[in-house]
Amino acid sequence: MYRLHAHWVDAYLKDIFWAGMTTSQRSESINAFFDGYVNTNTRLVDFVCQYNKALANHHASESREDFMTLNTVLAMCLRHPLEVKVSKLYTRGIFKIFQDELTNGLSLFHEEMLKEEPKIIYLVGVFSEEREKWEEVTYDKSRELTVKCSCALFETDGILCRHILHIILLLQLTAIPDNYILQR
């Protein structure tokens, strides 16, 4: 088991995209999918019928969410061009997560660590924390704009973290590069 630790230890999985789900959440997700449709006494013949009902309900729920995303106007916290653009691209649920990261990024502080054009490295964090706990954000505008944070939220969950958003706001960028907007 230890020889395989690179496959199960969180520190080794930091840069792998998981869409924000942990192993236990995937199991819980499957249980929630079947909740109310099957139980330990469900026969195999009934399971197929119940599975189809659960699937139809899931599709209807996704369709409702798509309809709500397309036909409702989301409340803006900041009215910043970043927020407005992203509100048109993300689903409501993902947009709310983005808004939380954006608003939390406003209360962070930064310190420029290294500037070698076209790359700048910042330390970003909460003022009251020691600098060792701050995250390192690398901003590189050489080819296409790239930003990378040591917290790896984008690499694992697909959403820009508060640290990167803090630097984007600091640099007065009005758009997030398309490579940081993941498609469904």
Each residue of 105-116: pLDDT tens digit?
A: 999 999 999 999
Asked which of 37-41, 88-92, 140-144 is least confident by mean pLDDT, the reply is: 140-144
Question: Can you give the pTM of this predicted structure?
Answer: 0.70
pLDDT at 90: 86
Give the Cα separation of 184 and 167 in Å (integer). 26
Strand partners, 147: 139
Do 103 and 87 form a contact (C-beta atoms < 8 A)? no
Do 180 and 154 form a contact (C-beta atoms < 8 A)? yes
For the chain, the first-to-last Cα distance in angstroms comes to 35
pLDDT at 111: 95
**What's the sign of the alpha-carbon dihedral 153, 158, 161, 164?**
positive
Q: What is the pLDDT of residues 6-23, one digit of tens each?
A: 555 566 556 655 555 555
Do 101 and 161 form a contact (C-beta atoms < 8 A)? yes
Phi, psi at residue 117, to the nearest 5°? -45, 135
Amino acid letter at 139? Y
Q: What is the pLDDT of residues 118-167, one digit of tens each?
A: 899 999 999 988 989 999 999 998 877 889 999 988 988 889 999 999 99
Q: Is the pLDDT of residue 178 over 90?
A: no
Neighbours of 170 (CB within 10 A): 16
The closest alpha carbon to 152, from 167, 138, 168, belongs to 138
